[in-house]
Amino acid sequence: MTTIKVALLGFGTVGSSVYQTIQSRRSKFERLIGKKVEIVGVLIQDETKQRNIADGILVTSSFEELLAIPEIDVIIEAINGIEPGAGYLSRALEKGIHVVTANKELLAHEGQSLRETAAKGHAQLKFEAAVAGGVPIIGTLQQLLQVNEVSNVEAILNGTSNYILTEIAENQVGFQAALHSAQKHGYAEADPGNDVDGWDAFYKLMILCELLLGKQPDWTQVSRRGIRGITLADIQVVETAGWRIKHIASLQVKEEKAQLRVEPMAVPEGHPLYEVSGVDNAVSIQGDLAGNLKLQGPGAGALPTASAILEDFVQLYKESDNRNRSIDASILAEDSNRLQDWLATAPSIPKTAAVKQRWKGKQADNNAYLVSATEGELEKLLQAGKICNFFRLAGAGREIADTVPILI
Ligand code: HSE
């Protein structure tokens, strides 16, 4: 039986989990792909740290030394940030080494160029673990929805943000305490600003966009808001109105134009993302043939991420053709002057806003208002302290009055 030689970049929460799973499921891999799997090297940062890595495996902080191991077949990357990872992966792909990565920031920035390098090096680049943790969204879009026209993707892509919003709502804790708990569970990024300011979900949306449209938008034209600044009072008043706040990344295609957004949204009961709580991610996809599909599962954490990495790894040896599909659409810039419906929270709403409905807050002083306004107007009211927060309504085209009661 031939042997597949694997090198690991990174031995943190995810890297060590991948290592342990490979070591403990050797016979399963052999059965699945008909080859032995051997870990030949691990790239680490701090050589003085004690790690549980078997003798005979090269453990080094030098990528050069790692790459010099003869005949590496696959590199599994689980490190943070763009560099040095992008340089490492590029060199591996040039040499014809397949790459499996969980690094969304790197892919959002360098995915296109790495794909080109992979094609030149006749290697494969796989990245299921980079979006939605253990939820197989990349494979679903690549392999299972090729004939469908996908018109709408709404997704919770940052487990930390969803966990924090759930913790605040269910346990009435403050933002900092909820964030601390997410960090303790190993969900948050090394810099949790990536999570709570929406960058992590933004990178993941860019990866999905590239997969679906074959290109990315101008990043400055995509609305990106995180959950920092959402208070318990916001959540209580929005929930009193029968809605929930969820941090949503969306891509909508209409008449060959695509709109992308990453922001906290007001989600009505019955919406596919309404019940998604804790660290779960979920992706709701509208396909013209398949209808509405929802994939849901843990979006962060060692084992779910290792699961996606290793499913990718096995897939490397089960397929040769991995073409991307693409939708023909231009990408729309955000228009902050367009009149839209929003859910705004405030003790009282200034007369300038066109109020359609009002829900009286039960516990907080705040009320929730359904208003028709431009984003620019609401941004100004927010800056002036006239409103506490505002949220776009999830679920384009839903009949609002049918789904929520008026509680004035
Ligand atoms: N910090 C990320 C999250 C980890 O919370 O979703 C998984 O990408």
Confidence grade of residue 117 (pLDDT, cut at 50, 70, 90): very high
Question: Alpha-carbon torsion 213, 215, 219, 224, what sign?
Answer: positive
Comparing 72-81, 293-302, 353-362, the range with the smallest average pLDDT is 353-362
| 215 among known catalytic residues | no
What is the average pLDDT score of the chain? 91
Helix (H) / strand (E) element for 93: namely helix 85-94
| Residue 92 pLDDT exceeds 50 | yes
Name the residue among 281, 309, 286, 303 with its Cα closest to residue 157: 281
* Residue with CA at minimum distance from ligand 1 atom 8: 300
Which of helix, strand or coil describes residue 341? Answer: strand
Full DSSP string of 194-235: HHHTSHHHHHHHHHHHHHHHSS---GGGSEE--STT--HHHH
How many Å lie between the centroid of ligand 1 and the Cα of residue 355?
Answer: 37
For residue 393 the two structure tokens come to 């309504």
CB atoms within 10 A of CB 25: 14
Q: Which residues line ligand 1 (CB under 6 A)?
A: 133, 158-160, 187-189, 195, 200, 299-300
Whether 138 contacts 324, CB under 8 Å = no
pLDDT at 405: 36
pTM: predicted TM-score of the whole model, two decimal places: 0.86
> Which of 5-9, 71-75, 143-147, 255-259 comes out lowest in average pLDDT?
143-147
157 pLDDT above the threshold of 90: yes
Sign of CA dihedral 322, 159, 395, 226: negative
Rounded to whole angstroms, what are the CA distances from 390 to 2, 158, 159, 216, 350?
Answer: 59, 20, 22, 27, 14
Atom of ligand 1 nearest to the CA of 162: 5
Q: What is the dihedral of CA 326, 327, 332, 338, to 10 degrees?
A: -140
> How much distance in Å is there from the Cα of 130 to the middle of ligand 1?
9
Catalytic-labelled residue, pool 95, 204, 254, 380? 204
- Closest Cα to residue 254, out of 396, 144, 373? 396
Interval between CA 305 and ligand 1 midpoint (Å): 9
Residue 234 has pLDDT above 60, yes or no: yes
Q: What is the pLDDT of residue 15?
A: 96
The residues with which 368 forms a beta bridge, in sequence order, are 345, 359
What ligand 1 atom has the least distance to the C-alpha of 192? Answer: 1
Per the CB < 8 A criterion, the answer to whether 75 and 97 are in contact is: yes
Q: What is the DSSP letter of 142?
A: I
The CA-based dihedral angle spanning residues 75, 125, 25, 53, taken in that order and rounded to the nearest 10 degrees: 20
Per-residue pLDDT at 319: 58
Please report the atom of ligand 1 found closest to the CA of residue 163: 5
How many whole angstroms separate alpha carbon 140 and alpha carbon 151?
Answer: 15
Residue from 158, 167, 204, 227 whose mutation best tests the ligand 1 pocket (most atoms within 8 A of CB): 158
pLDDT at 227: 97
Q: What is the pLDDT of residues 381-394, one digit of tens each?
A: 999 999 999 999 98
pLDDT at 222 over 80: yes
The CA angle 49-92-33, to the nearest 5 degrees, is 90
Give the CB-side neighbour count of residue 376, counting CA atoms within 13 A. 6
Helix axes 159-171, 232-240, angle to 10 degrees: 80
pLDDT of residue 205: 98
- Residue whose Cα lies nearest atom 4 of ligand 1: it is 300
Across the range 191-216, mean pLDDT stands at: 96
Report CA(111)–ligand 1 centroid distance (Å): 18
Is the pLDDT at 363 greater than 90, yes or no? no
Report the distance separating Cα 100 and Cα 120, nearest Å: 17
Whether 398 and 272 have beta carbons less than 8 Å apart is answered as no
Q: Please check the confidence at residue 19 and state whether its pLDDT lies above 50.
A: yes
- pLDDT number for residue 357: 84
Best of 104, 137, 189 to mutate for ligand 1, by most ligand atoms within 8 A of CB?
A: 189
* Cα-Cα-Cα-Cα dihedral sign, residues 91, 95, 101, 106: positive
Distance between CA atoms of residues 36 and 40, nearest Å = 12
List CB contacts of 309: < 8 A, sequence separation 6 or more: 14, 18, 76, 78, 100, 102, 128, 129
Res 144: pLDDT: 74
**Does 217 sit behind a cis peptide bond, omega within 30 degrees of 0 on the bond before it?**
no
